[in-house]
Amino acid sequence: GRFAVDAPNTLFADGFDLVDAGVQYVAARSALGSYRLYATVFNLLDRRYASNQFLIGGQALVAPGAPRSLQVGAQFNF
């Protein structure tokens, strides 16, 4: 939903929805111990949005949100 941008809560910015998607493979036991492999796509639809908006000295400032990104990784437990 909407959120307040200024201290007296008189100026509001629209909310936003993002879609993230991920997959993972978890090996319970192996010769190396347990491990997890994963991949996640953040902001799957590459939506343009403002992650933060605020006022400083009457000037409206906007922080753009992150574009679509991919995170891959591996986690090993010995």
The per-residue pLDDT for range 11-56, each reduced to its tens digit, is 888 888 999 999 999 987 767 688 899 999 999 999 998 888 888 8
Separation between Cα atoms, residue 51 and residue 45, nearest integer Å: 16
Prediction pTM value: 0.73
| DSSP 3-state of 10 | coil
In this predicted structure, what is the pLDDT of residue 41? 98
List C-alpha distances in Å: 33 to 23, 27, 28, 58.
Answer: 21, 9, 8, 57
- Which 8-state DSSP code applies to residue 78? -
The answer to whether 30 and 21 are in contact (CB under 8 A) is no
